[in-house]
Structure 1
Amino acid sequence: MAFDVNDEGRVLVLYDGTGVRQVNEITPDGDWRPLTELADTCRSARFVPDSRLVVIEHDTGGNERGQLSLLDLDEPGLPTLTPLVHDLDYLHHLVAAKPGRVLYTTNRRNRVDFDLVARDLATGADTVLYDGGGWVMGVSPSPDDQWVVLTVATVPANSFQLLLVETATQTVTELTPADAHNDQGQVSWLPDSSAFVVSTDADRDRKALRRYELSTAVWSDVLVDDARDLAAWVSPDGERLLVAVVDDGEVSLATHRLSDGSELNRLDLPAGGCAALSMTTPDPVWSPDGSFVTLTYNSPTTPPTVHRYDPATGEVVAVPAPGMPEVPKLTLPESLRVPSFDGEQVPVFVYRPTGPDLGSTVLHIHGGPEGAAMRVWQPMIAALAAEGHTVIVPNVRGSAAYGKRWYSLDDRALRLDSVKDLAAIHAWLPTIGADQSRAVLWGGSYGGYMVLAGLAFQPELWAAGVDIVGIASLVTFLENTSDYRRATREREYGYLATDREFLESASPLSRVDDIRAPLFVIHGANDPRVPLSEAEQITAALEQRGVPCELAVYSDEGHGLAKLKNKLDAYPRALSFLRQHLATVE
């Protein structure tokens, strides 16, 4: 993933070719230079302007407690890490690097709320720019450093408030209501800091591009598409927008005039894939002089690859990492809709077997719950298809990228409606020639909850399950998750103080005696989101009843598997587990 471009046209990217995600620099000629060689994952990186320094964020063992360090690019070979912001008890997230200072967020004040802090690189002094509370999910400083737009999680589930902070006085202005049900995406400033463009679904179902003028405090529409989500990045000259269009799991890119929104050029990228798109990462990135854009693109048939786009010529050139292995020729999925219990249509992607057809089906369920299954490179989906499984990737209700109405349909008391979507997909399987008796659930994080819920609430439907860092009990999950996450997750699932009875009723652990399908569980010992105790209690309960169950725990992992060595251990074991138990299905 691309994170930054400096004045010389050098690019910072994160790449896991060594088995652990590390920081690399790409020169203007396309040469790669490794900058880190850590035992653990690098999470972010930025050039420090007017210097040869790079600041990186990294954690330990997947614990997500980001620490900030500096690298000096003038050092030959692999630069030495110099600690910048280190306190292993707290999270520090890199926001931006400015001349002589670094912006970061941290929860060290009370473990729950995230403050925005500027660290002076010469003196080491910190200046707090915002300490108004909340989980600050996005930070967008203006080019002139006088303003910062914050995206802060608010009370309605999956909702975020925009705040404008004046850095000199720390004055905070609410740009959107705290109680509004709005999702906010990418924020991009105009070069003169007079306005910014944001991707938002305020007052509509889909994310549109809206502009906010600081001098008048007036909002206006830039681009609106009632059927698709939009995001945008303003060019350094303020004349153009790089616009992303999200359509049924695919993300395409085009340049538009900022003045009237008219399209200038569509980027010639491989069909059926996705540009990287996240509120918390900068990819795509304009070069400071606007001569090119660096972006990461991938698809179900193409691994993530850095590309350079030249807006003057329209040329898009891949910049593959050295030694990137050849991948087998794969096929794109079919996009279909499944009727559910209440007449809703569930979007699904269907990947046909690339190996000898076993007649079995694996439902591969994304995390979130407000996440989305996109048309991206998924090695495990490719591996499952190569095993001979038909792989169905659903965007059950509650998923993002299909509008506000759809991602709200599983909130709080509606939680089990998303599980009913799994039963609807099971009932639909014969229409694609699939054997209902050989259907398996596979998912991670919230997808792991869905696996366990499917096995517990629909025990007659599923032949086996693979749960990766999943939630067994919504009650114990909320009690034991990190403090800063509890406040936000209660808004989605329900509150321990008032909704405990419902939370218990919607928990797979409350129906564990009904589970009869074999279960394989993968978990990281350092998971700060879904504690290891969730895996331990579900497997202990199943072992006590004699249900076939295996638990694979990795001492150097957190919320999911980041290290190649652990993936090469866990996933073949899971595939073997499925082969073993599907062989007994009559």
Structure 2
Amino acid sequence: MMDNKLIQFLQMATESSPVWLDDGNTIAYIRHDNTGSHIWQMDLTTGEKLCRTTEDTRIWTIKSVPATGDIYYATDSTGSECERLYRLSPGQTNGSEIAGDPNTRYFLGGIMPDYNIIAYTCNLRNKATFDVWKKDLLTGKAVMIKQHSDNYNWPCRDALSPNGQYLLYNKLRGENDNALWMTDMTTGETKRIPEDDVISAETEAVWRHDSKGFYLLSDRGGNFISVYYYDIEFSDFEQVYSYCWDVDGLALSADDKYLAVSVNAGGYTELHIYDIEANSEINQPIPPKGVLSRYQQMSWSPQGHKLLFTLTSGKRPEGIWMLDIDADRLERISEKSANNEQFLIEPQLCSYKSFDGLTVPYWLYVPYGIEARNLPVVIEIHGGPEGQEVPSFNGFIQYLLSEGIAVVAPNVRGSTGYGKVYTHLDDVEKRLDSVRDIDSLVTHLIESGTADKNKLAVSGTSYGGFMTLSCASRYPHLWACAIDTVGMYDLVTFLENTADYRRAHRESEYGSLEKHYDILKAVSPAAKISDISAPIMIIQGRNDPRVPVTEAEQAVNALRSLGRTVEYLCYDDEGHGIAKLKNRLDCYPKMAAFLKKYLF
């Protein structure tokens, strides 16, 4: 029988990734609701809304050209991550495909000033690498500008210079090895920014509108990510703003007057607005405590100084906000959820000492009106591993809380957001130290009285799935049950079968097949699979290019041959995670029933 309360949480409306369709009155954005995921537009004056796409599919990126009202977006319908590019013109429902191939990934870099030519990278020629291309949308002619022989060459969010001359993109080899490169779209001449061999990460570039330079983020100044500026004419690279936390995002106003800087302060976002000419921070209205995702753009209006951004928190579903600097006004554009937010829960930021004395932070979600004593607890582990658990809205977590189940979401060693040193504490031979962090967390939760030692579950997605399998196999006595979603079972077979362009990047974190084969085997859950005793649910998308379905199949087959209790959910039209609403409505009720069966 369908749980109506859970369905309400899963279908709760969220709105994100806003872009401008004109000078400052109409926006487009991505909306998730009880019909799925679609692109919508809104007139900010009248409040009128219009759905612009009809298929429920994952929308990876959205860009706009305010001068024409065109929307450009990337999507794939099978979970394979072979994104196709579309243009959605004014008055049109559903976009027209402008670049696509069933076995190729396309990343839009930008639209040339004539609005007829797009710049992008793709792995059409060689699936292991991404070349730089441009395509005339009037003639259909595509030309390769720069051929590459390495792996990732992904355009920045604001990749193409306003004059159309330069394209910026990253060569991703690791979280802190992510060099920025620039290609001349006429000559194909390419160089690194800055021009040296320092191992560092330069990301999130935003161009000045005269194309004379750009602001960007870099970690080469110390343990945290700071704001830099690069001057095209003089090749100058200088630090301009730094903090005791990582900077997550940048946005530069259309007249280059204001720079918006989002700072990840221990998980919550601090928004700073700088008057560049005055070289000072302005005193603007402050958004509510929450998270501005590093994966979603902030967007300034073409006229005036209106900044759009997406805000979420533990009890706030993703919604669009607008900061109008000229009017000194902050307002929520998205309507509030129909659900009673009074009973939704914000997490508490806590910490504990791990086995070696390292302080590890975690978020504690406690059911409404209940003391944090002797509770059933789900430990939810984030993916990455170079990722971070932040207090953003999660409908499934809120449902578990409403059922009396607490949730603990740790940022074990290897997580981002706490400096480069912390991020690399789990590399290669230190992989299992992060698993020991979870053992120490369980000890802390039991000794503090928070958790019932007989009612603990572990769950996670992607690398969090690897951690789930690792915890269930290396500390089997701790768990009443476990749920692994798209997790790695054997790091060797994972590296052998992951998408070709991903391998070098993943080897930089886990170890290479050539140099660390024995370590990869030893730290894999496969090495200890026979020790798993708790019931386990394994969830997988059949078309996953990151963690192939063979990882889940190996784990399921091994557990079944051992006579263990295992439930397996595999979705034929999904990839790395469960994105489609129809599949979420099947998967999450089964997850909820599984957890309640073994925790109560």
The one of 141, 165, 174 equivalent to 2:192 is 174
Matched residue, 1:40? 57
SS of equivalent to 2:169: strand
After TM superposition, give the deviation of residue 228 of structure 1 in Å: 4.3
Cα RMSD for the two superposed structures: 2.1
The one of 399, 403, 409 equivalent to 2:425 is 409
SS of equivalent to 1:454: helix
After TM superposition, give the deviation of residue 40 of structure 1 in Å: 2.5
Report the Cα distance in structure 2 between the residues aligned to 1:226 and 1:356, rounded to whole angstroms: 35
Shifted more, 337-346 versus 347-356: the winner is 347-356
Report the Cα distance in structure 1 between the residues aligned to 2:513 and 2:196, rounded to whole angstroms: 22
Report the Cα distance in structure 2 between the residues aligned to 1:80 and 1:566, rounded to whole angstroms: 22
1:313 aligned partner, one-letter code:
A
**CA offsets, 1:408-443, max 9 Å, x none?**
111122111111111110111122532233221110
Q: 1:181 to 1:507 in 2, by over 3 A?
A: same
The one of 121, 131, 149 equivalent to 2:137 is 121
After TM superposition, give the deviation of residue 448 of structure 1 in Å: 0.4
Shifted more, 39-48 versus 433-442: the winner is 39-48
Matches for 1:476-491 after TM superposition, within 5 Å: 476-491=493-508
* 1:384 partnered with 2:400: yes
Matches for 1:534-573 after TM superposition, within 5 Å: 534-573=551-590
The one of 68, 75, 95 equivalent to 1:51 is 68
Matched residue, 1:428? 444
**CA offsets, 1:238-279, max 9 Å, x none?**
1211111111110121211224642103443222x111223x
* 1:110 partnered with 2:129: no
Query: Which runs of at least 4 in structure 1 moved beyond 6 Å after TM superposition?
Result: 355-358
The one of 147, 170, 179 equivalent to 1:161 is 179
**CA offsets, 1:470-525, max 9 Å, x none?**
11111111111111112211111111122111111111011101111110111111
Report the Cα distance in structure 1 between the residues aligned to 2:226 and 2:302, rounded to whole angstroms: 26
After TM superposition, give the deviation of residue 322 of structure 1 in Å: 9.3
Matched residue, 1:527? 544
Shifted more, 166-175 versus 315-324: the winner is 315-324
Matched residue, 1:91? 105
Matched residue, 2:387? 371
Matches for 1:218-297 after TM superposition, within 5 Å: 218-229=236-247, 231-259=249-277, 261-271=279-289, 273-278=290-295, 281=296, 283-297=297-311
SS of equivalent to 2:448: helix
The one of 349, 353, 357 equivalent to 2:367 is 353
Q: 1:497 to 1:578 in 2, by over 3 A?
A: same
After TM superposition, give the deviation of residue 185 of structure 1 in Å: 3.1
SS of equivalent to 2:417: coil
- TM-score, normalization: structure 1? 0.93
Report the Cα distance in structure 2 between the residues aligned to 1:329 and 1:242, rounded to whole angstroms: 33
Task: Judge conservation of contact 1:473–1:509 (CA < 8 Å) in 2.
Answer: yes
After TM superposition, give the deviation of residue 161 of structure 1 in Å: 0.4
Task: Judge conservation of contact 1:339–1:346 (CA < 8 Å) in 2.
Answer: yes
* 1:500 partnered with 2:514: no
Of structures 1 and 2, the one with the larger relative CO (CA 8 A, separation 6+) is: 2
* 1:313 partnered with 2:332: no
Matched residue, 1:333? 347
5+ long unaligned stretches in structure 1: none
Report the Cα distance in structure 1 between the residues aligned to 2:424 and 2:459, rounded to whole angstroms: 23
Report the Cα distance in structure 2 between the residues aligned to 1:443 and 1:551, rounded to whole angstroms: 15
5+ long unaligned stretches in structure 2: 1-15
* 1:516 partnered with 2:533: yes
After TM superposition, give the deviation of residue 325 of structure 1 in Å: 5.3
Report the Cα distance in structure 2 between the residues aligned to 1:44 and 1:455, rounded to whole angstroms: 36
Task: Judge conservation of contact 2:284–2:325 (CA < 8 Å) in 1.
Answer: no
Q: 1:507 to 1:101 in 2, by over 3 A?
A: same
How many residues end up aligned between the 2 structures? 575
SS of equivalent to 1:274: coil
1:381 aligned partner, one-letter code:
I
Report the Cα distance in structure 1 between the residues aligned to 2:377 and 2:184, rounded to whole angstroms: 54
SS of equivalent to 2:477: coil
SS of equivalent to 2:476: coil
Report the Cα distance in structure 2 between the residues aligned to 1:268 and 1:144, rounded to whole angstroms: 34
2:170 aligned partner, one-letter code:
T
Q: Percent identity among equivalent residues?
A: 31
Task: Judge conservation of contact 1:208–1:231 (CA < 8 Å) in 2.
Answer: no
Q: 1:219 to 1:70 in 2, by over 3 A?
A: closer
Q: 1:159 to 1:42 in 2, by over 3 A?
A: same
SS of equivalent to 1:498: coil
Q: 1:177 to 1:416 in 2, by over 3 A?
A: farther
SS of equivalent to 2:478: coil
* 1:73 partnered with 2:90: yes
Report the Cα distance in structure 1 between the residues aligned to 2:510 and 2:232, rounded to whole angstroms: 36
After TM superposition, give the deviation of residue 184 of structure 1 in Å: 3.0
- TM-score, normalization: structure 2? 0.91
2:421 aligned partner, one-letter code:
R
